[in-house]
Structures are given as structure tokens and as C-alpha cells.
Amino acid sequence: MNPIFNPLFQPFTFRSGLQIPNRIVMAPMTNWSSHPDGSVSEEELRYYERRSGQVGLVITACVYVTPNGKGFHGEFAADRDDMIPSLQRLASAIQGRGTKAILQLYHGGRECPAELVPEGDVVSAGNVPNAQNPSVIPRPLTHTEIVSIVKDFGEATRRAIEAGYDGIEIHGANGYLFQQFFSPHTNNRDDQWGGSLTKRMAFPLAVVDEVIRVVDEHGKENFAVGYRFSPEEAESPGITMPDTLELIEALAQRELDYLHISLMDYSSHPRSGKERNRSRMAVILDKLDGRVPLIGVGAIRTAEDALNAYEIGVPLVALGRQLIVDPDWVKKVQEGKESDIVLTLTKDDQESLVIPAPMWKTIMNSTPGWFPIV
């Protein structure tokens, strides 16, 4: 291995005691390939097995924790105990290759297609529709329902523990329910769950506290808890970098193992706040000041990209699309063959890359530029 990449292959220990052998993480990516009942398919198991064994940590695609939170066709489930055997099969597929497995927990809120939720009852923090689907007006959740969903995340955490996962990640990013509560664009409430910045943070923080309580209650050692967030929104009003820095401050005071920033480009700069001449990751790292490790992600394709992200200060680097394109990315860097990393897809690659058919279809029909297809 080229010695300049040595930092990427140092072991890392989280606050909980969970240890991983290197700093490379597989980012969570939707694959649309589970069975209609929410159980994991054989195609998914093979897909994850193919990408385990080299990265230090795999964060799974998101699982819905309650029936009205299902946001994708072919999404797998953690909303009932019947799903524990299915969840366990996926954890074992990843861990059987020597990689730690993190289950990402999710609620889609207003982003859930009406045909996927009971009685078509799409819910959110407020009644603001998605601009891409303005005819679906989400129903604001009641206080009782919000408290119930908080408990649902705790129950899904228990199921992850019983299924043998090494941790869970709360999906607070990408416009889904947590972000809908945090955002002044989608949260137009005037109760304890909305209005001021502090009240808009109440739901995300309540879920974090409940998840940590459940982990403590079950006495699960070396079980990691992470939180993923999107730092800014394009809408006005919307989430600003100063808003996110306040959320990060509150999260840093919890016993979290990591935060995971969601970015399209790891080097992108803020659109708001005082420090627009530095990357978002650099600004957030300064705010964290080493209190909680940050996973960096976004258009990391080459070994040099990963090293650059690491050198900004993130201790852990996540690859998403690139691990679909080349599952042997880590091995090639370790063997000094980083110049052999494959950076593009062809229409004939599905079988060799072990990609489930629904996922492959989505990739092939995706907006130009999402995947490098030649």
C-alpha cells in the first residue's frame, strides 16, 4: 500500500467501545429490493455480502419503524417483532465477512407515497406539501402520535439489539421526518414541537434520548448510536448552517457515538452563516471540537478523495455510490492498486457487481449524473 493512505487503515474505537479495523464506511443507500412484507430478500443479502469484508463498517439502507413511515417500494422493516429474524439475516450476512453492521432507522413523513402507508394517511410535522407532489397535503401529527413515534424508534432499537446489530443510526437527513420537524419550512406548528428553534429540535432530541435509554436498559455493550443530518436547505425559510450548529451542540451533549453529515460533495461550502469560505465539514468539525466523531461523505470516489476528506478532520470516511461501482475499492487501495479503481458503470455490470434487479433498474433509469454510466 502507498504509505500516504495509511491513515485510512488505522483502527477506530467509538465511545461505546465498538471497534472497527479501518476508517472506511459503507454509506446507507436505498436499494428498493425487499419483499412486500418488509423482509430482506436474498438479492439484498448477496448485495451486502459482496460489499462487506473490506470496509470497517456497513450502514444499511433505512428501515421503517412504523407502518406510516414507509417511504420506498421495497424498503425493509423494523416495525414489528416478526421482522427480527429478517433483520438478523442481514446483520449476519455483513458480520459474517468480518464487518460491523449498523441498522439505519427511519420515518419518511411527508415523503412517503400515499400507496405505501395505511389508508393513504401521509403525515408530517406540519401540513406543508412537497413541491414535487403538491396535491398530497400531509396531516400534522398529533402530540400523542409524536410521542408514539418516539417510542417506535426505541422499539426498533430493541429489535436491532435482539437481531445482533452493532449499532443503529437515526436518519435525520435528506428531507425526511426528522428534518421536517427541524425545518422552519415544513414545521409550521405552534405547540411544544414547533415554532422556535428549540422547539423544532424537540422531536429529534426526544428520539435520541429514547434510543439511548433503550440501549442502556438492555445493557448492550459496544452498541453504537449515530445520527445523520443534512446541514442546510435551499428553501427560505429553511434550515441554515447556524440552525444546524445549534442542533449539533445539543447532539454533542448526548452520549452519541458519531454524527454523520449528508452531503452531495464533501468539499461543498455553506450557503448561509458567517463562514462561507470554508467547507461545511470544516465548520461543523470546529463546532464539535472533538466531542463526537463525524462521518464525512459526498462524491468520494478515489483514494485521494478519501484522504482529502480525512485530512479535513473527519476520522471516518463514507463511500456510497463508489462502493456500488467498485465493491473492491478498499482492497485495491490496500494492495497499492488504487489506479485500478473502477469509476464508471456499464449496462452489462449488474451480475458481476451483485446488484439487486430493482436497484439496478433505478440506477439505469436515474437522472443523468447520479451514477457515472458509460
Residues with active-site annotation: 176
CB neighbour class for 4 (10 Å; exposed up to 12, middle 13-18, buried from 19): exposed
| 251 SS3 class | helix
Pairing mode, strands 19-20 and 12-13: antiparallel
Pairing mode, strands 224-229 and 167-172: parallel
- Give the integer Cα–Cα distance in Å for 109 and 138: 8
Residues 6+ apart with CB under 8 A from 177: 69, 106, 107, 108, 109, 110, 124, 125, 149, 203
| 100 SS3 class | strand
- Give the integer Cα–Cα distance in Å for 234 and 52: 35
- Give the integer Cα–Cα distance in Å for 154 and 215: 9
- The secondary structure of residue 128, as a DSSP letter, is P
179: amino acid identity, one letter: Q
What per-residue string of b and e applies to 54-69 under the rule 16 or more CB within 10 Å gives b?
Answer: bbbbbbbbbbbbbbbb
Asked whether the beta carbons of 107 and 101 are under 8 A apart, the reply is: no
Neighbours of 266 (CB within 10 A): 22
